[in-house]
A = this chain, B = another copy of it.
């Protein structure tokens, strides 16, 4: 049931107009007149009312507000599916008791460095290798990634270490390539509402890690998950990576409260990226622990053997020994909240 609020200046004709519109959609209007406002309760399956139909009602003179009661996403909602979704990727489950950790460099730079990092993060306990072959960069003059060559290095590092691989897609035309080489497709924050890319990725059956947009509400984020799921791909992980606020002491503001909020609204697994969330190496460890304590299902962390030579995001990358220390520190925190790492 939805609610339409009309001002006291709303005329009988306007109310009738709305009633007829609702009836044409197979719905009924329950009208309550107050002294200051008239309220129309909409009876029937209002989940069918689209964004556009809602807007059309808002555009009617006299309408002050429309209150939607049902959530605009369905497949992604906890109401549609009560139990947690567990996504099995090469035998590693995201969304279960165990908290997998995805680690690796921001960008794939060359084979030797990547393999070296992969071996080190594996030894420390990471279960996925992250690394970007296509890099979204603010400047056209910055390193844009190695492209297919980078994907090949990832595949080789996977072969050597057994770590499944996660990498970012930036262009719908790259889907086949990325599906071929990777185990999880990452949609970056800047592309969270690149709807064509979402639909394309939704048409594959690869697990998808959907990062939250810099200024996206949780609702919009779930709508973007719905885009992917509406095409048939149900294997979506949501990754909190910091939102944009007025605070400049950190690169972004890591919104950890999104974790328990999502746990209420959706059955999809929730991943946290503390590296991008804070943007500074020294802050990664405390926020990784906080993420686990808040209920994160997985972590994704940047690690580089030589952060000062990293081709991107060196400032926020842990060194392998720092990562190893963090992994050790995370275990008791996970246990304290009934999880494992």
Interface residues of A (CB under 8 A from B): 1, 3, 5, 30, 32, 34-37, 39, 41, 43, 45, 50-52, 55-60, 65, 67, 69-70, 72-73, 79, 136-144, 170-173, 190-191, 193-196, 199, 214-215, 217-220, 223, 226-227, 230, 243-250, 253-261, 264, 277-278, 281-283, 286-287, 289-295, 307-315, 317, 329, 332-333, 335-337
Contacts and interface: CB of A to CB of B under 8 A. Distances in A.
Contacts of A193: 136, 138, 190
Nearest to A292: B293
Contact of A293 (B67, B215, B310, B333): B333
B59 A314 contact: yes
B41 A140 contact: no
Given A43-B34, A243-B253, A140 B226 contact: yes
B286 A293 contact: yes
How many of these chains are in the complex? 4
A3 B245 contact: no
Given A3-B67, A287-B256, A56 B309 contact: yes
A191 B190 CA distance: 8
Contact of A294 (B143, B172, B289): B289
Contacts of A257: 250, 253-254, 277-278, 283, 287
Nearest to A17: B308
Contact of A249 (B45, B218, B311): B218
Contacts of A287: 256-257, 260, 294
A143 to B, nearest CB: 5
Contact of A223 (B138, B194, B226, B227): B138
A315 B39 contact: no
Contacts of A191: 194
B51 A138 contact: yes
Given A1-B39, A3-B39, A141-B50, A247 B217 contact: yes
Contacts of A317: 59
B195 A170 contact: yes
A158 to B, nearest CB: 25
Contacts of A219: 249
Nearest to A283: B260
A107 to B, nearest CB: 9
A290 B263 CA distance: 15
Given A36-B79, A51-B137, A333-B336, 12 more contacts: A56-B314, A59-B317, A138-B193, A217-B246, A246-B246, A247-B255, A256-B256, A264-B282, A286-B293, A289-B294, A290-B291, A335-B336
